Amino acid sequence: IGFIADTLNAESQRFKGAPTEMVIDQGNKRIIITDTLEHIRKLETWVELLDIRPETRVYPISNVGFTGDSFGDVESAIRDLLTPDAYMQFDYQNYILIVRDLPEVHEDIEEVLSQMDQPPAQIMVQAEILETSADHQFTFGIDYDLSGDLDKAVKDGLFPDIPTGTDPGQDDKFNFHDLRDTFPIFSGGSTGVSIDHLSRHARIQFSAFMSDSTTKLLATPQIYLKNHEEAHIEVGSEVPYLTSNFYGTTV
């Protein structure tokens, strides 16, 4: 009522003639004006515009504190919007804001809360849990067969690991010579390399293998969390174990 009275008093200063008499009844929330009928009609128009019944609204606060703004920041921003006779109360336990003010003020409050009380951004964190081990292996070896006459030794079956290339109806010695013409040979792949050499007196084979198993993928956990929030990921297994209790009596 004080705001309306101040406005009417300022407007009445424009009137010509005797000054307007105004009495404010705070107890009954009334303003008693003594003036000409023409002036009173003009002041009535101002009263109709200003004397709007305040509304009480409750605003739930859902996300303040997660995006950087605190309750104090929101309270300060809203308090600047209120009229002098407004009522505002923050319920910090239930996260609600209670305001009693004019409807147009509530519209401004809703606009402020729409900017400051926004849901926080969410992110997904995906991790790969690896087990690292220094398991480096490199193996190599040389196998060889020696003979004064390797042709005859193979033919007599003294070196069963050396093939003779025998075909039905063909001479063993001839086919062994034909087999020797294909050497040396080389073979390799993901398992290693092997080199074979065959001559009249010796057959030599060199092989090498290398493995490197340094990592093992244990798990790929995923978790959703609010931006700037700390997350904890636990990877492991529960292993049960047996316990026993023994009770005895000595007499």
Q: What is the pLDDT of residue 115?
A: 83
Q: What is the pLDDT of residue 235?
A: 72
Give the separation between CA 37 and CA 86, rounded to whole angstroms. Answer: 32
Average pLDDT taken over every residue of the chain: 76
Range of lowest pLDDT (71-75, 116-120, 210-214, 221-225): 210-214
Range of lowest pLDDT (59-63, 90-94, 223-227, 233-237): 233-237
Q: Is the pLDDT of residue 74 over 70?
A: yes
Q: One-letter amino acid identity for 10?
A: A
Q: Is the pLDDT of residue 183 over 60?
A: yes
Nearest CA-CA partner of 222 in 131, 130, 123, 132: 123
DSSP character string of 120-168: PPEEEEE--EEEEEEEEEEEEEEEEEE-SSHHHHHHTTS-TTS-----T
For the segment 14-26, the average pLDDT, to the nearest whole number, is 74
The SS3 of residue 84 is coil
Range of lowest pLDDT (87-101, 172-186, 216-230): 172-186
**Which residue ranges form the domains of the chain, and what is each CATH number?**
2-50 (no CATH), 55-120 (3.30.1370.120), 131-213 (no CATH)
Q: One-letter amino acid identity for 112?
A: V
Q: What is the pLDDT of residue 99?
A: 92
Q: What is the pLDDT of residue 220?
A: 84
β partners of residue 143: 205
Say how many CA atoms lie within 13 Å of 144 toward its Cβ.
11
Nearest CA-CA partner of 203 in 150, 166, 164, 242: 150
* Residue 2: its H or E element: helix 2-12
For the segment 199-216, the average pLDDT, to the nearest whole number, is 74
Q: One-letter amino acid identity for 213?
A: S
For the segment 127-156, the average pLDDT, to the nearest whole number, is 76
Give residue for tokens 């309306």.
4
For the segment 129-154, the average pLDDT, to the nearest whole number, is 75
For the segment 39-66, the average pLDDT, to the nearest whole number, is 78
